């Protein structure tokens, strides 16, 4: 699954369909910077015009909608003539005009907006066509010939299939017939995950009070709550928490039993309401591990925003009401600020990377500064927990910044979440099951590109994870491709994993039954996603340094469409390491052969450096 | 003058107020009595003055107690010897044999600040009065910052040590006072004379001939300057085109002579030239230049392009200015300062302009590479004395084009050729003698290392040496011991090392070269100089490889670009004449438009699979040019990633490399072919991976109490965000919609 600018050789040409041909009179100027024309290639191109695109990748369940001759206005190499093929899953463009052939493979799900560019009377070459904005930091421009309303059909079809929910169509995930050897829906089971953490125990219990989503419709069915709190208590507390999102356990420290609780803001309001049940509930939480003198409540928001929330009925835990708690504001901004920040970032990296004032431009987007704040918040949570204090984390509704903070601090504290499956569990648990509003934040299949609910909160989280993998290159079992694949499929609508806002809706839509999980694909070919440098260190807490000195722009994600920007640095090292691993294995094999032919000598060789334990350890490293 | 630590029961009651309890004091005195506190002195090293009960503390932070000890000033260094018993200290991971952790060579001192009454004041040499500040902050050229408190030392000692330090590190001195002289007079010659046999020193005719032969250069070695008869700036031997006669060289004392640097496999070559004196009449100099250019084109049978650096690169003063701003970003006094400066980090970096200078140099080098590689045009780099930025560029071009210079011995030979023999004024540029009025100090050599580091971090497998090697090399500039960095030219060195009195029956002093790494590091530490990722030349037959040792075959790295009118060899006379006229008239024709042609060079280079033994080009876009973290952030505690950093992957690779080596040996042993195996990297066994800091091998892990760094004062920075910040997360708040 790649949606990059890739290059393939000339493929085989298959079936025939009648398509329009380009009028040769309107041959566009073709900027031949590096792309040389070759007469024999021209000939094959001519014959190709009569045929539709042949080697379009096609997933099971994917259907061809239309093919069309088109000009792709590549921001890096200029206009290229080619053919576009639209399916119910993707837009695929291929040009044989250049050698090697250029392709674009864009899942329709990444499209956020399609605009017509120019009119029938527009002057200038390639001024008439389509302008497509994507959610993954790129824009695509296609030009068509001006006569005969040539773009009407393709615009309408594209619009329809890119935004299926706005046209009463199904998302592709429900049409896909893909089969994988692994079933990703089995990756996460709330009860098993709590059991892994050693829960329930004599302080914490599982409650099924939300089994029918009657307590909180955006929470999962299984919740971990204080043993001392009855279901009735929970109901009372839920009345005082925004959207009934009561404090529940995210993670418990295996040694000191301190917990990370997540919830939404208390409904304090302008009048400064109090709720005895809520106050008592938080104190029960504090008491549970027996060593928390003050429960630390991390309010992810900037102080002023928390105060402002009182006007809409929200607020924060006041000192008077919560005497055994201390409140810390983490100064992380809201979804709108993040959205604008990423937009600014896109402006300086696409299509051209800001040249002269790169660093100050980067600074002015504030993107890395937001990353720093989120990481800094998570570090504080992790640090507090390590020292044996339980914490409560919330923002306004507890589904954006809260999810970022809890999941990142869990990633720092618990090495399980740094494994391939552990990370999947973390995403399923803290993000998907606890109701991060993926549908609203991403706008799957929805044409309303300007929706103020959209925001790259999950992207920001993955960026934070990437920053951690950069600072601790041996601590994560997964590699950069894994993170990029997650982000690509956050938009693609190929899998059901990130669809809809919460579990109750997913149940309604029968997502698990009708769609495939992203983890099914990943776990079926997980060798691709493994970090060769991974070294298991089970009880280590990772504290990244949340300083601009170490934070860097994730170039290979945000600037990956630009062929002139270096992408390969880490890959070079990784590739070299793999080569060395292969060399090592060659020697091992040779040694084995020698041992077979030379068996008597093995016995007195036990202290050789290539001792069996060492070999076993390294053989596990996948190639 | 010699007052070493307190021996025996000398010190009775301390006459100062201290927050160390009397009990502590007694214990300390007992320890002092047990342990001799003699500093480790090198041959020829003499202690000038010392003070006891100096407190070394790490930050202004009051909670940090610091360490008591003795502060000394010798003719080599400023040293601090801790009172705490050495056994508690785990050995630093990467020990320099000449210097311990708290030693500062006098030439490494950058700035000294005195703090009195909470006021921080820059100390300027020559203006020191009898008053001394209560605290000293010493900023070093290798970016270390030391804080010493003199409050608890005896007044007399404190005054002496303060004056001594200022006098010996901040005031002008003569070359003979540099430590290397007394070291070499005392040290046994065997200790100082080992030379790295693989490194060509370019002091003899033979070295130049070897280099000419290796690159198949079509030029001659000239001995016209033997015994420096023509110029003291030039080396005794150098390489010039055949047509350049000794008279030509004599005419303007070596100025205006095209000196050969390197030959490309296509036949074109890289030359450098010092400007002609400006007083010359136009006709004469123009005629002379014509002859010189003729000489270049005749031998190489290629057109030549003149690259005048004065017009396209920053002046030395700008370099110095920019670097001063840049380094200030890393000389951090306190945690507060660290986090405050973190907010404007990127714009501060940009404002210093240092990264931009690095980028410009690399870009210029790419242009020159383009002429040689794609247009097969010889390039003549012209600079006033052809010994500053000229050295940076000629070296960079050669590193990009010739994989030999990416090996350790090749790189060292390159520095010998272009910098040492090339007459770079190391002494003046580094300003080791503190002679302010004389020459412009400028970090020219450091700039070169910075550029190499950019290439190294972008193309790690192409280099045989590691980042650590470059960092250590950059530190060695400030150790006043190596002939490599102590002089302005070979002549300068040769006269300086001559015995003082002609009648003295002594051979010239034998200064060590910096390439004699065993003087500074043992084998184990030196193993960190090797880049485990290095992709060696494809291994053919083993026996074959051994014989062709050091002869790096040069490969065609790019096919001739078809779209370009590649100038053929064997120009007609008229054609060359025309070309030269165009060049001399500074009217560069359009096919020489640099930006356009480098773009093509990049494109054709990127289209091919990366060959680490072939052409290497730097990426120059904003995100690719980065800060040399190891060098600049290694001493900043807030920037340390505990158990992390890119060093962790390097360590994994090192481990694997050693495992492969062991397996290889084992296989060889078993198959009874006991070939002595090739030099594989030795694994550095230090503290376990997870206990290391990201600045490994530089910061010692001991005395490191680990606490996660939590940024402070972050709120103000985002103050300017728009009204969006006040909005609710969800516009549908309260509407009850999911």
Residue range A324-372, pLDDT digits in tens: 999 999 999 999 999 999 999 999 999 989 888 999 999 999 999 999 9
Cβ within 8 Å, pair B657-A533: no
CA-atom Rg of chain A in angstroms: 27
CA separation for the pair B119, A509 (Å, rounded): 69
Of all residues in chain A, the one with the smallest CA distance to B360 is: A356
pLDDT for B737 equals 33
Q: What pLDDT is recorded for position B679?
A: 45
Q: Does A26 have pLDDT greater than 80?
A: no
Could you tell me the pLDDT band of residue B303, with boundaries at 50, 70 and 90?
confident
How close does chain A come to B351, measured CA to CA in Å?
9
pLDDT above 90 (res B92): no
Q: In this structure, are residues B174 and B434 in contact, taking their beta carbons and an 8 Å threshold?
A: no
Query: Between B653 and B540, whose confidence is greater?
Result: B653
Q: Which residue has the higher pLDDT, A7 or B29?
A: B29
* DSSP code per residue over A273-321: ---HHHHHHHHHHHHHTS--SSEEEEE-S-HHHHHHGGGGT-----TTT
What is the helix (H) or strand (E) element at residue A116, kind and residue range? Answer: strand A111-117
Using 50, 70 and 90 to split pLDDT, how confident is the model at B552?
A: very low
Phi, psi of A274 (to 5 degrees): -120, 160
pLDDT value of position B86: 58
Q: At what angle do helices B573-584 and B282-300 cross, to 10 degrees?
A: 130
- Are B629 and A543 an interchain contact pair (Cβ–Cβ within 8 Å)? no
Residues in Cβ contact with A43 at an 8 Å cutoff, skipping those fewer than 6 apart: none
Contact: B344, A366; criterion CB under 8 Å: no
**Does the pLDDT value for residue A103 go beyond 60?**
yes
The shortest C-alpha distance from A463 to chain B (Å) reads 16
A548·B346 Cβ contact <8 A: yes
Rounded distance between C-alpha atoms, residue B450 and residue B352, angstroms = 15
Chain A residues inside the 8 Å CB shell of B536:
none
Specify the pLDDT at position A608.
Answer: 38
| Structural contact between residues A441 and A457, judged by C-beta atoms closer than 8 angstroms | yes
pLDDT score of A317 more than 80: yes
A533 contacts on B by Cβ (under 8 Å): 648-649, 652
8 Å CB contact of B733 and A358: no
pLDDT of res. B186: 83
Q: Is A464 a catalytic residue?
A: no
Please work out, in degrees rounded to the nearest 5, the angle formed at the alpha carbon of residue B359 by the alpha carbons of B632 and A574. 65
* Range picked from A349-363, A494-508, B94-108, B702-716 for highest mean pLDDT: A494-508
Residue with the larger pLDDT of the pair B592 and B218 = B218
Our CA angle for A572, A578, A584, nearest 5°, is: 140
**Residue of B558, B622, B733 to mutate when probing chain A, most A C-beta within 10 A:** B622
Comparing A116-125, B174-183, B360-369, the range with the smallest average pLDDT is: A116-125
How far apart are the C-alpha atoms of B529 and B408, rounded to whole Å? 9
**Residue contact A359–B642, C-beta within 8 A:** no
The larger pLDDT score, comparing residue A302 to residue B9, is at: A302
A-chain residue closest to B617, CA distance: A566
Interval B649-690: pLDDT, tens: 888 888 898 898 889 888 888 776 544 444 444 555 555 655
- Model pLDDT, residue A24: 34
Highest mean pLDDT among A195-204, A576-585, B16-25, B91-100: A195-204
Residues in chain B: 738
The answer, yes or no, to whether residue B543 has pLDDT greater than 60, is no
pLDDT above 70 covers a percentage of chain B that reads 74
CB atoms within 10 A of CB A131: 15
Residue A108 has pLDDT above 90, yes or no: yes
Cα–Cα distance, B386 to B419 (Å, whole number)? 10
Three-state DSSP class for A72? strand
Q: Are B512 and B192 in contact (CB under 8 A)?
A: yes
In the predicted model, what is the mean pLDDT of residues B537-555?
45
Write out the two tokens for B391.
Answer: 């050295």
Residue B724 has its nearest CB partner, among A340, A397, A543, at: A340
- Best CA proximity match to A383, nearest among A361, A405, A416: A405
Which among B624, B652, B728 has the least Cβ separation from residue A533? B652
Residue B63 — very low, low, confident or very high, per pLDDT cuts 50/70/90? Answer: low
Contact yes or no for B66/B152 (Cβ under 8 A): no
Looking at residue A619, its pLDDT comes to 33
Closest in A308, A437, A588 to B726, CB measured: A308
User: Residue B542 above 60 pLDDT?
Assistant: no
pLDDT reported for residue B551: 39
Query: For residues B478 and B108, is the Cβ–Cβ distance under 8 A?
Result: yes
pLDDT at B651: 85
CA distances for A96 relative to A1, A45, A71, A76, A150, angstroms: 21, 6, 12, 17, 21
What is the Cα–Cα distance from A82 to A48, expressed in whole angstroms?
10
Q: Classify strands A5-8 and A101-107 as parallel, antiparallel or unpaired.
A: antiparallel
Given a contact cutoff of 8 angstroms between Cβ atoms, the answer to whether A107 and A173 are in contact is no
Contact B149, B118 (CB under 8 A): no
Q: ipTM value, please give it.
A: 0.86
Contact A610 B666 (CB under 8 A): yes
Shortest Cα distance from B681 to chain A (angstroms)?
13
User: Distance between CA A289 and CA B351 in Å, rounded?
Assistant: 51
Q: Do A366 and B694 touch (CB under 8 A)?
A: no
pLDDT at B523: 87
Q: What residues form DSSP beta bridges with A132? A: A114, A140
What is the rounded distance in angstroms from the CA atom of residue B492 to the CA atom of residue B423? Answer: 9
Mean pLDDT of A186-208: 97
CA distance B716 to A373: 12
B144: helix, coil or strand?
A: coil
In eight-state DSSP terms, residue B314 is -
Distance of CA A196 to the CA centre of its chain: 25
pLDDT beyond 60 at A483: yes
In this complex, which of A357, A360, A580 lies closest to B657 when CB atoms are compared?
A580
Mutation test of the interface with chain B: which of A439, A545, A611, choosing the one with the most B Cβ atoms within 10 A?
Answer: A545
Residue B561: per-residue pLDDT: 37
Helix axes A367-386, A335-349, angle to 10 degrees: 130
> Per-residue pLDDT tens for B599-631?
888 888 888 888 889 999 999 989 999 999 999
Considering chain A, what is the average pLDDT of its residues?
Answer: 87
Q: B422: which 2 tokens?
A: 């090339």
Give the pLDDT mean for A100-121.
Answer: 91
Interchain contact, B343 vs A548, CB within 8 Å: yes
Q: How far is B408 from chain A (nearest CA, A)?
A: 20
- Chain B nearest C-alpha distance from A260 (Å): 18
Give B35's pLDDT tier (boundaries 50, 70, 90).
Answer: very low
Q: What percent of chain A has pLDDT over 90?
A: 75
* A130 CA: distance to closest CA in chain B (Å): 29
Q: Which residue has the higher pLDDT, B163 or B696?
A: B163
Query: What does the DSSP 8-state code read for residue A246?
Result: -
User: What is the C-alpha to C-alpha distance for residues B270 and B284, in angstroms, rounded to an integer?
Assistant: 25
pLDDT, tens digit (0-9, with 9 covering 90-100), for A441-450: 999 999 999 9
pLDDT value, residue B610: 81
Candidates B331, B596, B663, B694: best to mutate against A (most CBs of A within 10 A) is B663
Mean pLDDT along residues B686-710:
64
DSSP symbols for A412-446:
HH-GGGGSHHHHHHHIIIIIIITT--HHHHH-TT-
Highest mean pLDDT among A463-467, B484-488, B638-642: A463-467
Is the model's pLDDT at A30 over the cut of 80?
no
Out of A216, A263, A395, A464, pick the active-site residue.
A395
Provide mean pLDDT across the span A374-386: 97
| Whole-number average pLDDT of chain B | 79
Biggest alpha carbon distance in chain A? Answer: 88
Residue with tokens 């917990």: A259
Contact B649 A473 (CB under 8 A): yes
Interface test with B, best of A530, A548, A571 (most B CBs within 10 A): A548
Between B583 and A92, the more confident residue is A92
Contacts of A546 in chain B (CB under 8 A): 709-711
Q: Is the pLDDT reported for residue B4 higher than 50? A: no
Contacts of A46 (CB under 8 A, 6+ apart): none
Set of chain B residues whose Cβ sits within 8 Å of the Cβ of A502: 738
Put residue A8 in one of left, alpha, beta given phi > 0 → left and psi -120 to 50 → alpha: beta
């Amino acid at each position: 699954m790649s949606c990059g600018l890739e290059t393939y050789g000339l493929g085989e040409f298959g079936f025939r369909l009648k398509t329009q041909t380009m009028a040769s009179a309107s041959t566009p100027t073709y900027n031949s910077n590096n792309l040389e024309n070759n007469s024999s290639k021209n000939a094959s191109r001519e014959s190709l015009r009569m045929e539709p695109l042949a080697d379009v990748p096609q997933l099971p369940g994917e259907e061809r909608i239309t093919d069309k001759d088109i000009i792709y206005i590549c921001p890096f190499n200029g206009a290229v003539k080619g053919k576009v093929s639209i399916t119910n899953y993707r837009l695929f463009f291929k040009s044989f005009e250049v050698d090697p052939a250029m392709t674009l493979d864009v899942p329709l799900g990444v499209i956020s907006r399609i605009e017509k560019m120019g009119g029938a009377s527009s002057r200038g070459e390639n001024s008439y066509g389509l302008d497509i904005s994507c959610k993954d930091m790129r824009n695509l421009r296609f030009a068509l010939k001006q006569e005969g309303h040539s773009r009407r059909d393709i615009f309408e079809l594209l619009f329809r299939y890119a935004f299926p929910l706005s046209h009463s169509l199904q998302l592709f995930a429900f049409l896909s017939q893909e089969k994988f050897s692994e079933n990703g829906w089995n990756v996460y089971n709330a009860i098993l995950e709590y059991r892994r953490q050693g829960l329930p125990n004599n302080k914490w219990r599982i409650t099924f009070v939300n089994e029918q989503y009657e307590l909180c419709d955006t929470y999962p069915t299984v919740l971990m709550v204080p043993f001392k709190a009855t279901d009735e208590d929970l109901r009372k507390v839920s009345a005082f928490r925004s959207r009934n999102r009561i404090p529940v356990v995210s993670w418990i420290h295996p040694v000191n039993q301190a917990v990370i609780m997540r919830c939404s803001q208390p409904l304090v309001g302008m009048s400064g309401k109090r709720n005895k049940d809520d106050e008592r509930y938080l104190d029960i939480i504090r008491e549970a591990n027996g060593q928390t003198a003050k429960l630390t409540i991390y309010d992810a928001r900037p102080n002023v925003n928390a105060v402002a929330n009182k006007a809409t009925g929200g607020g924060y835990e006041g000192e008077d009401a919560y005497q055994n708690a201390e409140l810390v504001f983490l100064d992380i901004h809201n979804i709108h600020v993040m959205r604008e920040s990423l937009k600014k970032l896109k402006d300086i990296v696409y299509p051209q990377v800001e040249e002269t004032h790169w660093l100050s431009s980067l600074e002015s987007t504030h993107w890395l500064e937001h990353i720093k704040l989120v990481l800094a918040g998570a570090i504080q949570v992790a640090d507090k927990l390590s020292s044996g204090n339980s914490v409560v984390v919330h923002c306004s509704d507890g589904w954006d910044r809260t999810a970022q903070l809890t999941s990142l601090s869990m990633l720092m504290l618990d090495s399980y979440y740094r494994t391939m499956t552990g990370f999947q569990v973390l995403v399923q648990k803290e993000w998907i099951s606890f109701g991060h509003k993926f549908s609203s934040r991403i706008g799957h299949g929805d044409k309303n590109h300007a929706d103020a609910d959209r925001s790259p909160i999950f992207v920001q989280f993955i960026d934070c994870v990437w920053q951690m993998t950069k600072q601790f290159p041996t601590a994560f079992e997964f590699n950069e491709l894994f993170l990029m694949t997650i982000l690509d499929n956050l938009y693609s609508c190929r899998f059901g994993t990130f669809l809809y806002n919460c579990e109750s809706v997913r149940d309604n839509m029968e997502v698990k039954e009708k769609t495939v999980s992203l983890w099914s694909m990943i776990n079926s070919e997980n060798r691709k996603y493994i970090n060769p440098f991974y070294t298991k260190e089970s009880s280590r807490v990772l504290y990244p340094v949340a300083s601009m000195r170490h934070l860097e722009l994730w170039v290979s994600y945000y600037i990956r469409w630009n062929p002139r920007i270096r992408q390969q640095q880490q890959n070079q090292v990784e590739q070299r390491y793999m080569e060395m691993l292969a060399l090592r294995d060659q020697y091992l094999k040779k040694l084995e052969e020698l041992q077979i032919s030379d068996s008597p000598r093995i016995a007195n060789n036990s202290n050789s450096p290539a001792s069996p334990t060492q070999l076993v350890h390294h053989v596990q490293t996948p190639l | 003058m010699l007052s070493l630590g307190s021996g025996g029961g000398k010190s009775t009651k301390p006459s100062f107020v201290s927050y160390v309890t009397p009990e502590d004091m007694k214990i300390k005195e007992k320890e002092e009595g047990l342990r001799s506190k003699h500093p480790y002195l090198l041959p020829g090293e003499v202690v000038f003055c010392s003070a006891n009960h100096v407190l070394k503390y790490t930050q202004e932070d009051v909670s940090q107690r610091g360490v008591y000890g003795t502060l000394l000033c010798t003719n080599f260094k400023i040293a601090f010897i801790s009172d705490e018993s050495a056994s508690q200290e785990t050995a630093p991971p990467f020990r320099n044999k000449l210097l311990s952790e708290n030693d500062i060579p006098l030439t490494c001192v950058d700035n000294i600040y005195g703090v009195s009454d909470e006021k921080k004041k820059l100390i300027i040499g020559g203006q020191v009065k009898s008053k001394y500040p209560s605290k000293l902050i010493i900023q070093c050229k290798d970016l270390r910052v030391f804080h010493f408190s003199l409050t608890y030392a005896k007044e007399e000692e404190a005054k002496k040590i303060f004056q001594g330090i200022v006098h010996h590190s901040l005031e002008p001195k003569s070359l003979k006072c540099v430590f290397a002289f007394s070291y070499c007079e005392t040290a046994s010659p065997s200790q100082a004379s080992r030379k790295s046999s693989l490194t060509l020193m370019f002091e003899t005719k033979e070295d130049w001939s070897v280099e000419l032969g290796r690159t198949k250069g079509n030029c001659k070695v000239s001995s016209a300057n033997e015994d420096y008869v023509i110029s003291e700036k030039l080396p005794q031997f150098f390489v010039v085109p055949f047509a350049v006669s000794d008279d030509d060289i004599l005419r303007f004392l070596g100025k205006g002579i095209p000196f050969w640097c390197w030959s490309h496999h296509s036949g074109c070559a890289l030359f450098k030239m010092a400007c002609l004196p400006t007083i010359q009449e136009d006709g004469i100099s123009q005629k002379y230049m014509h002859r010189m250019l003729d000489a270049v084109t005749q031998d190489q049978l290629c057109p030549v392009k003149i690259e005048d650096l004065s017009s396209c690169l920053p002046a030395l003063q700008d370099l110095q200015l920019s670097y001063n701003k840049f380094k200030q970003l890393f000389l951090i006094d306190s945690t507060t300062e660290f986090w405050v400066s973190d907010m404007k980090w990127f714009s501060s970096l940009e404002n210093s302009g240092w990264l931009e200078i690095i980028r410009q140099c690399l870009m210029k080098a790419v242009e020159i590479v383009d002429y040689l590689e794609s247009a097969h045009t010889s390039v003549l780099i012209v600079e006033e004395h052809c010994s500053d930025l000229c050295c940076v560029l000629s070296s960079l071009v050669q590193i990009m084009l010739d994989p030999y210079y990416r090996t350790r011995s090749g790189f060292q030979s390159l520095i010998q050729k272009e910098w040492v023999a090339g007459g770079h004024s190391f002494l003046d540029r580094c300003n080791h003698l503190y002679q302010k009025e004389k020459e412009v100090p400028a970090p020219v050599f450091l700039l070169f290392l910075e550029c190499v580091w950019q290439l190294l971090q972008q193309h790690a497998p192409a280099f045989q040496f590691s980042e650590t090697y470059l960092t250590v090399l950059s530190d060695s500039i400030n150790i006043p011991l190596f002939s490599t960095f102590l002089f302005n030219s070979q002549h300068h060195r040769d006269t300086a090392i001559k015995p003082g009195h002609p009648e003295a029956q002594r051979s010239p002093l034998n200064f060590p070269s910096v390439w004699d790494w065993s003087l500074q590091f043992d084998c184990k530490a030196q193993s960190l100089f090797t880049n485990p990722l290095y992709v060696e030349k494809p291994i053919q037959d083993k026996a074959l490889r051994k014989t062709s040792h050091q002869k790096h075959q040069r490969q065609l790295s790019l096919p001739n670009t078809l779209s370009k009118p590649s100038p053929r060899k064997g120009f007609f006379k008229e054609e060359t004449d025309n070309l030269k006229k165009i060049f001399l008239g500074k009217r560069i024709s359009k096919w020489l438009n640099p930006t356009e042609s480098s773009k093509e060079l990049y494109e054709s280079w990127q289209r091919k699979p990366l060959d680490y033994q072939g052409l290497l080009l730097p990426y120059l876009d904003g995100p690719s040019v980065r800060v040399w973290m190891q060098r600049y952030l290694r001493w900043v505690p807030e920037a340390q990633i505990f158990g992390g950093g890119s060093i962790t992957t390097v360590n994994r690779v090192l481990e694997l490399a050693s495992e492969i080596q062991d397996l290889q040996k084992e296989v060889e042993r078993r198959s009874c072919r006991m070939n002595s195996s090739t030099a594989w990297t030795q694994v550095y066994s230090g503290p376990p991976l997870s206990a290391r800091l990201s600045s490994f091998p530089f910061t010692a892990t001991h005395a490191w109490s680990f606490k996660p760094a939590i940024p402070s004062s972050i709120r103000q920075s985002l103050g300017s965000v728009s009204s969006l910040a006040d909005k609710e997360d969800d516009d549908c708040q309260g509407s009850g919609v999911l």
